[in-house]
A and B are shown apart, each in its own frame.
Chain A
Amino acid sequence: MIEEIGTTEAGELVINMGPQHPSTHGVLHLIITISGETIKKVEPHLGYIHRSIEKMCESLSYRQFIYVTSRMDYLSSHINNHGCALCVEKGMQIEVPPRAQVIRVLMDELTRLASHQLWWGAMAMDVGALTPFFHAFREREAINDIMEETCGARLTMNYMVPGGVMADLHPRFAERVKEFMRFFRSKMDEYDELVTNNVIFKSRMQGVGYLSRENAISYGCTGPTGRASGVSCDMRKIAPYEVYGRLAFNEILQTEGDCYARYLVRMAEMRQSLSIIDQLIDNIPEGDFQAKTKAVLKLPKGEFYSRVETARGEFGVYIISEGGTTPYRIKFRSPGFSNLSALDHMARGHKIGDLVAIMGTLDLVIPDIDR
């Protein structure tokens, strides 16, 4: 039911939030029906940043379409590229050398850290504390500098190719990453002091936006949103790819399903990423960083699907190939789309200030939803 702006017969107010708004992270247009201060219904209107990426990919070759996925969920650009490369390799049966596998996992985990850092800063800013935003960006800039030295770009890094990575690691990579980890571990304690244990934060986030386990499964919420409601959906554990099968890390689950649980899951994931990087950084095997492939890639006729765990949830790449050099159809399963669909259910009965907190903990990136 599309609501018109104005007043309904029941005396409820129907108002707009966005598309230009400081706390919807991107161009998200929400139509909110409120009665007094309590929300009755939230309806997201999408499509403000739809760029027909999937259609564009039908005219790009298998080496060329990877750069476009960096621009979908720009905060986990490495992980998106990784997913596409995995799908092409699955179709062509390419074997990725061990050094490239480890490099890919290292870049993924650094990207996950950077994405969670930005989430932390932006969420704190939405709730009202303006200082953590700058602290979070200080750490994120350190990761961006490391990426810049190796990959050449800071945000949309087109570094993964089918068969491996585009260039070898910079000689100073391991040393810089170790320095960053030392620096960041002490900062995580500061994060806890400033935000996690703060009584005002807790009272704004506990008990707000409850999502039960059954609802999380039926809406298809994956990633930290699903894991905070008790759904075990970490792709790195369920369907391990690259070297994740060999690493020792836990899947972090909480059962409360409210905003504070989602917050705690992401903070724990940051520490997990640090421990994964720790296990790998000293044991990078020598060898090739790219498998030898033909210059022009052609996938055999058929359908191929691969999925990876981005910072937001499960990202799936589905390629239908007719045997040529360009795909017949590519579909991306974006994690944000399913997470956003649960917003209406979570926000009913809460106040407007709570809506902002809920959107902050869902960690939405709108270009990912709209593609």
Chain B
Amino acid sequence: MKKYLSDVFGAIGSLLKGMKLTGYYFTHHKEIITQEYPDKKIKLPERFRGEVVMTHDEQNEHACTGCTACELACPNGTIKIITKFDVTPEGKKKKALDTFIYHLELCTMCNLCVEACPTDAIKMAQNFEHSVYDRSQLTKKLNNPGSKIREGVE
């Protein structure tokens, strides 16, 4: 008999404690953590792995030598490098980058290509809104048209 009553009161007590907690959250509106996207833009940290981009400076020059280290490091064939042969002022033939093809649809953002690059030519950008209406827009060429390699990069 005593156990019956203590069961009942213990039960009611535990239920009321739970209700007190949700009642607290109901009345304190500053605890709300909803990020109102897309009304308020989200600021991403600088190491966020969005998509791979090639950095170009003001003279439209990049640092990619066409060594294909990133293509070898990528686990699923996202990067394809097409090289051409440039003629240097001394008349020697030197390998240079023609196009850097990057399949955004296959990329897993694992960062192995950025780690493998010896000249820090590519890095990860901070955007995650990659949706497009047309699939062909996801195959990107990372080097800008008319850009060439910076002097002194080996």
Contacts and interface: CB of A to CB of B under 8 A. Distances in A.
Q: A and B: direct contact (Cβ < 8 Å)?
A: yes
A194 B47 CA distance: 37
B1 interface: no
A151 B47 contact: yes
B27 to A, nearest CB: 15
18 contacts: A63-B73, A64-B74, A64-B75, A64-B112, A131-B22, A148-B48, A149-B47, A151-B47, A152-B48, A152-B124, A158-B110, A161-B115, A170-B47, A190-B21, A193-B20, A194-B18, A194-B21, A199-B10
A199 B11 contact: yes
B73 A64 contact: yes
B14 interface: yes
Interface string B61-97: 0000000000001110000000000000000000000
Nearest to B35: A141
B149 to A, nearest CB: 22
Closest 6 CB pairs of A and B: A199-B11, A64-B75, A67-B110, A152-B49, A152-B47, A158-B110
A193 B124 contact: no
A178 interface: no
B75 A60 contact: yes
Nearest to A129: B18
Contact of A158 (B20, B48, B73, B111): B111
A67 B14 contact: no
Interface in B1-42: 10-11, 14-15, 17-18, 20-22, 33
A193 B44 CA distance: 35
A150 B111 CA distance: 13
Interface string A142-179: 00000011111100101001000011001000000000
B75 A67 contact: yes
A67 B112 contact: yes
Interface of B: 10-11, 14-15, 17-18, 20-22, 33, 44-45, 47-49, 73-75, 108-112, 115, 124
A63 B74 CA distance: 10
Contact of A166 (B14, B73, B111): B111
Contacts of A200: 15
B33 A141 contact: yes
Contacts of B48: 148, 152-153
A172 to B, nearest CB: 10
B24 to A, nearest CB: 9
A114 to B, nearest CB: 16
Contacts of A156: 108
Given A64-B73, A148-B45, A167-B47, A193 B115 contact: no
B49 A153 contact: yes
Contact of B15 (A65, A158, A166, A199): A199
Given A152-B49, A153-B49, A198-B15, A193 B75 contact: no
Interface string A40-74: 00000000000000000000100111011000000
Nearest to B8: A199
A199 B111 CA distance: 48
Nearest to B7: A199
Given A158-B111, A167-B47, A193-B21, 6 more contacts: A148-B44, A151-B47, A153-B49, A158-B112, A193-B18, A198-B15
Nearest to A167: B47
Nearest to B10: A199
Nearest to A197: B14
B9 to A, nearest CB: 11
A138 interface: yes
Interface in A278-312: none
A138 B20 CA distance: 19
A205 B108 CA distance: 40
Interface string A178-213: 000000000000100111011110000000000000
A152 B44 CA distance: 10
Contacts of B49: 152-153
B47 A150 contact: yes
A201 to B, nearest CB: 9
Contacts of A195: 18
Contacts of B44: 148
Contacts of B109: 153
